[in-house]
Amino acid sequence: MDLRTTVEDLIRFRTETGNETEIVKAAQYIKNRFAQTDVLVDIFQSTASPVVFLRNADTLDFDVLLLGHIDVVPAADDMFEPKMVGGKMYGRGTLDMKSFAAVALNSMEYVAKHKLPLKFGVVLSTDEEKGSKSTESFLDTYSQIKVNIVLDNDVGGDITKIVTKCKNPVFVKLIAEGQEAHGSTPWEGVDANELLFKTWQNIRQIYPYFSAELPAPDNKWIDTVHFATIEGGQVSNIISNHAEALLDFRLTENSSVENLEKNLQKCMENGVSYRIVSASTPVVMDEQNPYILDYKRFAENILGRPIEFEHIGGATDSRAFALKGSTVIMHSGTGEGMHASGEYVEWHSVEQIADIQIKFLEHLAGKTRA
């Protein structure tokens, strides 16, 4: 498989989350790439978004599973035409994460071609950027799936770091109910927007505000929240009788949803309520896990430098497998601009991740080369 060609082909599919026409085309492209092989490719679909499921044997008990997604956030038209400039590939999905979806496909082709004695699979979702409902449905359907090691490349940014902790994303909706009145007589109404703001101020007493304009905390492994969306009022001269906001909490493994709810209950003003929209679990891996240490050794040999462990606030679909007891190895290539107009990946890091994966898989299969 020509890795660069595969990456460029995937980027040209405009797989913005929800663009099912392009997503189906991309899924079929992947399936067609393995048409002349023994690889089993299923396009699983029970929600609006499919999951591409590849495996080298008819099993749900895997030695290794690669996890990723092929959907992307919206971008201008020119970002769906990849460009290589000075060793960097620019385009939507270069970093998050079509380059590494292609790496997963490259690994699948290698395992199949060389008949490595591993039960090996790849799962690529198509709505990760909006909550991964397709992955949830996939795992509900394939509830018997067991995986020893999950390789997760959806933590892009720095190839010199292996992620061992991810936070728990918890999305909370605030709902404020007020009393409508004319804007000139606010004493006759109750402003739902004001109630929402007061509640938000209460929340900020527990979860402080951070921004690029303020000093970063010394300890970044803390619970955080940001005001994701807000909506209240309809016209300028009417006191709002309803307002809503969506909050994005990121909790460490030292916190819990139950404790978050206790804090929220303290913060609610009269007329304001909350609802947990979604919650998950943090991913926490033991840095002395022998599989992680083996992988780290191969990565360091290929990179020719030490690799550090790090913790990130983001979340990936690997949390579902961590709950099942899988060892999750979170490692990706180097780049910047994830979700931004200047998104790029350093191309050499993509090739290095592909090399690291293959060497690690050979090692697991007992076929490490001298």
Cβ pair 171, 260 in contact under 8 A = no
Residue 357: phi and psi, rounded to 5, are -60, -45
pLDDT of residue 313: 87
| pLDDT score of 317 | 82
- Paired tokens of 246: 């969506």
Smallest Cα–Cα separation from 10: which of 20, 21, 23, 111? 23
Q: What is the pLDDT of residue 132?
A: 84
Give 10-residue mean pLDDT values along the chain (370 residues). 96 96 97 96 89 97 97 97 98 97 98 97 94 88 95 90 94 97 97 98 97 92 96 95 97 96 98 94 94 97 96 85 94 95 97 98 76
117 neighbors 12 (Cβ within 8 angstroms): no
pLDDT given for residue 367 in this prediction = 59
What single-letter DSSP state applies at residue 331? -
Structure tokens at 306: 């030490």
Residue in the structure block whose two tokens are 């004001």: 194
- Could you give the 3-state DSSP secondary structure of residue 341? coil
